[in-house]
Structures are given as structure tokens and as C-alpha cells.
Amino acid sequence: MRTIPQQTKQLTTTEAVVLGLLAEGERSGYDLLKRAEASVGHMWSPAKSQLYAILPRLVDGGLARRRAVRQRSRPDKQVYRLTPVGRRALTTWLEQPSPRSWDELLLKIFFGRLVPAAVLLQQLDEYREREEARLEEYRTIEQKIADDPKSRHGYLTLRYGLAFARARLRWLDAAVKELSE
């Protein structure tokens, strides 16, 4: 049995996003920046310098392959393509439980077509619990400060928290429903 080269180290969010975009097909750094801007960029957008730093790293790690493309009327470019190892790293990232933040959860949903719906449902479920706990916490705080005129400003931000915890739970419900079909 041969051992498959493994990325032991965890992907950073930015790396995962780059892999996710690369999963659509062969792309140059410039392409990736444009694509990101128009889609996933609303959730996560790397700086140019960071992107160009990451791409060679992915190649070194065996997650992507580079190919030089000659062009006449444009500057030559390097295009990158996912390797099977890279694709595996991406799905592993997608499967990895307990997203650390909403952004991460959303990214996993965004790139979720690469993975069975059950994986996403699990991610959503885990987050639901956290969100419910948070809502509970906010409600406790609310009862403490609701009518205290001194905490007017704090109360405003708390109301933001309450509204958003509830909205997130509603979205989670809808997402679970949608992905269960």
C-alpha cells in the first residue's frame, strides 16, 4: 500500500477559498481575483499580494499544478489547476466539523456542491446549537438591562445581536429545508 502525500497542516480560510475557486477550473491569479470579486468576495476576499503568495505554496504542497501560458496580445500568464490531492484537501476542509465562524460556515455552504448534502446539514446543525445558546444568552442580558436608561447604547447593540441571532436561526431553518430535498 502506497502512502498518499498528505497535507497534515490545516488549510487557512484563504487557502480553502482559493482551492474552492480553482475547483471550477484552471485559473490564473488574475482570473481568481476577478472571480472572487464577483462571487465569494462578498464573504471573503484576499489581498492581491496574499493570493500571489498562496498560489506557489499550493504548488509546493502538491495541491495545485502550475502551467505557463504564452499569449501574444497580453502578458504571459501562469494558470493553476487543482490536483487530486488539492481536491481532497478541499473536501476535507468542507467536512471538518465545527466551523469557527459564520463566515466559515457560509463559505462551506458556498462551495458545498463538492460534498454530499449530509455534510452540510451536519455543519448547519452544529451551528444551530451555538446560535441558540447565543440567543439565550442575549435574552438573559436583555432582562437585566432592558429598562435601565444608563444602558441605552448597550441595549441598542444588544438588539442588533438579538435580531441577528433570530435571523440566523431562520436562515438556518431555510437552508436545512432546502438542502434536505
Residues that bind its own copies (CB under 8 A): 39, 42-43, 106, 109-113, 138, 152-154, 156-157, 159-161, 163-164, 167, 170-171, 174-175, 178-179
Per-residue cell: 4: 498518499
Of 55 and 108, CB closest to its own copies: 108
* Whether the Cβ atoms of residue 107 and residue 44 lie closer than 8 Å to each other: yes
Q: Are strands 27-28 and 64-69 parallel, antiparallel or unpaired?
A: unpaired
* Whether the Cβ atoms of residue 16 and residue 8 lie closer than 8 Å to each other: no
Q: What are the CA-CA distances from residue 60 to residues 5, 32, 63 (Å)?
A: 12, 19, 8
Q: How far apart are CA 14 and CA 20, in angstroms?
A: 10
Q: Interface with DNA includes 74 (CB under 7 A)? A: yes
Shortest approach of DNA to residue 110 CB, angstroms? 16
Q: Where are the beta strands (DSSP E) in 10-134?
A: 27-28, 64-69, 77-82
Shortest approach of DNA to residue 56 CB, angstroms? 7
Of 57 and 159, CB closest to DNA: 57
Q: Interface with DNA includes 31 (CB under 7 A)? A: yes
Instruction: Name the segment binding DNA (CB under 7 A); options: 74-82, 88-96, 114-122, 168-176.
Output: 74-82
Of 18 and 107, CB closest to its own copies: 107
| Site of interaction with DNA (CB under 7 A) | 12-14, 28-31, 34, 45-50, 52-53, 55, 71, 73-79
